Structure 1
Amino acid sequence: MTNTIYQVDAFTNSLFGGNPAAVCPLDKWLSDDQLQNIAMENNLSETAFYVRDGNRYLIRWFTPEVEVDLCGHATLASAFVLFNHENHLGDTIELFSERSGNLTVTKHGDWLTLNFPSDDIKQLELTENLYSGFNIRPKAVYKGKTDYLFVFDNETDIKNLNPDFAEIGKLDCRGIIVTAKGSTVDFVSRFFTPQCGINEDPVTGSAHTSLAPYWAEQLNKTSLTAMQLSEREGYLKCKHLESRVEISGQAKLYMTGTIILE
């Protein structure tokens, strides 16, 4: 049995930037063990699998270690593949995840816009056990559905963070989003998730379902620009729509291959 696989750099307009994701179109679902093994073999932060279901696509996302509830960059990569290499007609793709519900991706030139549920974040008391994994003290901490959101004073703090991944990994969450007001964009961020086997994710679309509502309130604006300050960097445009968030980015195809499954 063979299956086509794509590798796409998401949230970037150039190769070797943004966040690489593998995309595997399927005619029908493989077993959970096979899906997890493929993701482990790919050894990318995320591998997306989708199956056509009438006029929509069912989608799932796996890190090398676990299945996750939502992944922005691998959804963007999947839409890029569908629009450009798998003959999807029209400018909108309807997706469904059993873990995250209905999702859409809309094409505007070479920009793709994800429409995801907005996260509901709550401010917590800033205790030392929460930020002990960082060399700089945040000024506030929030908790969303799956992640903590740590707010810092400025962009320099975000760049200079030296995380202790063993300490961060002790927290009961998917990962830690760190953020501050940007110097050339509205806000910047990084994302650490040793809990999922990825110390630092290069660009995390799903984290912006927490970031966009926070910064929309702080800056009193609904349309926002953002950069994730990993080594690869990524650029995003966000729009806060109360219960939903639009997250826009570009993508570049790096590789097309064939998986051989016995």
Structure 2
Amino acid sequence: MPNRNIYQVDAFTDVAFRGNPAGVMVLEAPMEEQLMQKIANEMNLAETAFAYPLKDGYNLRWFTPEKEVKLCGHATLATAHIMWQEGITQSDKIDFHTLSGVLSAERVGESIQLDFPAIKGEETNSKELVKAQLGVEPVGFAESDKGYMLIELKDSNEVKNFFPVSENILKLGEFVVIITSRDNEFDFVSRVFGPAFGIDEDPVTGSAHCMLATYWNKVLGRNSFQAYQASKRGGQINVVLDNDRVYLTGKAVTVIKGEILF
């Protein structure tokens, strides 16, 4: 197998070393699943994306250091960024065939807009478990069968100062856990934890905003939001809910370009 270019891209930021770093490989043909998982483990980023061309777009898969995931926003944005930066495609819109259906990335000025599925949540009886394990008092709560648990806290300081204990988060089940609140500067802030997927805290999470959009739509009665993910690296996302789709807009910066040796 020939050597391959591999990139590290900071997504949902226009400044290097912020946002969410993703690994990206654009291949000429499918790669063995076991090898993709090994590369993702070697990269040790929240997700590494692997794309290869199809007749009507590109196949796209995402791997954490531990396992494959069905939906990832920042690594999709990073992949589209690399494909345009490296001249792999001249089209202003790219269709990606994924485990979550066909997703698209489109150039909008200097930004990239992703077209993703909306994720709806329902209140369940897990609220008491959340209080016991995380030591917080939810003012709102939603759980999705797509593997996301959302917890609204009373204010943004509680979100920003929350200290995650991965062992306790794991006791909530195999969820990506989102904590969120209203904010004075942004429409809402959030933080995202996924120890069940090998990610203690994800810096900026596009897919989580697919659920945040539907949740805050119900709370605020709006469908357009300026959102901030308040991780240590931090990142800003423009979010628009349109029926069963969510449009996520952000920028990306390439920080590493190299060649992986098999």
User: What's the TM-score, normalizing by structure 1?
Assistant: 0.96
Matches of 2:126 and 2:147 in 1, distance apart? 18
Q: Give the corresponding residue for 2:245.
A: 244
The answer to whether the 8 A contact 1:50-1:58 is kept is: yes
Q: Give the corresponding residue for 2:178.
A: 177
- Residue identity over aligned pairs, in percent, reads 38
Deviation at 1:135, TM superposition (A): 3.3
AA aligned to 1:218 is V
Matches of 1:84 and 1:231 in 2, distance apart? 27
Q: Give the corresponding residue for 2:64.
A: 63
Q: Give the corresponding residue for 1:234.
A: 235
Q: Give the corresponding residue for 1:118.
A: 118
**CA offsets 1:50-98 (integer angstroms, 9 cap, x no match):** 010023010000000000000000000001011111431121111111x
Deviation at 1:120, TM superposition (A): 1.7
Matches within 5 A, 1:107-256: 107-125=107-125, 127-144=127-144, 145-256=146-257
User: What's the TM-score, normalizing by structure 2?
Assistant: 0.96
Matches of 2:75 and 2:6 in 1, distance apart? 13
Structure 1 gap ranges (5+) = none
The DSSP-based 3-state class of the residue aligned with 1:184 is coil
The answer to whether the 8 A contact 1:5-1:258 is kept is: yes
Matches of 1:151 and 1:125 in 2, distance apart? 15
Deviation at 1:134, TM superposition (A): 1.9
Over the aligned positions, Cα root-mean-square deviation in angstroms equals 1.1
Matches of 2:198 and 2:126 in 1, distance apart? 26
AA aligned to 1:77 is A
Q: Give the corresponding residue for 1:34.
A: 35
Matches of 1:167 and 1:137 in 2, distance apart? 15
Deviation at 1:126, TM superposition (A): 5.0
Q: Give the corresponding residue for 1:104.
A: 104
Q: Give the corresponding residue for 1:92.
A: 93
**CA offsets 1:194-232 (integer angstroms, 9 cap, x no match):** 001110000000000100111122111111100000000
The DSSP-based 3-state class of the residue aligned with 1:132 is helix
The DSSP-based 3-state class of the residue aligned with 2:133 is coil
**CA offsets 1:222-255 (integer angstroms, 9 cap, x no match):** 1110000000000000000111100111110101
AA aligned to 2:196 is Q
Q: Which moved more, 1:77-86 or 1:36-45?
A: 77-86
The answer to whether the 8 A contact 1:148-1:173 is kept is: no
The answer to whether the 8 A contact 1:126-1:140 is kept is: no
Q: Which moved more, 1:7-16 or 1:171-180?
A: 171-180
Matches of 2:251 and 2:131 in 1, distance apart? 33
Deviation at 1:141, TM superposition (A): 1.7
The DSSP-based 3-state class of the residue aligned with 1:80 is helix
Matches of 2:74 and 2:106 in 1, distance apart? 14
The answer to whether the 8 A contact 1:202-1:231 is kept is: yes
Deviation at 1:187, TM superposition (A): 0.5
Deviation at 1:124, TM superposition (A): 1.7
The DSSP-based 3-state class of the residue aligned with 2:123 is strand
Change (3 A) 1:136 1:130: closer
Matches of 1:250 and 1:36 in 2, distance apart? 26
Matches of 2:174 and 2:143 in 1, distance apart? 9
The DSSP-based 3-state class of the residue aligned with 2:78 is helix
Count how many residue pairs are aligned between Structure 1 and Structure 2: 260
Matches of 1:182 and 1:61 in 2, distance apart? 31
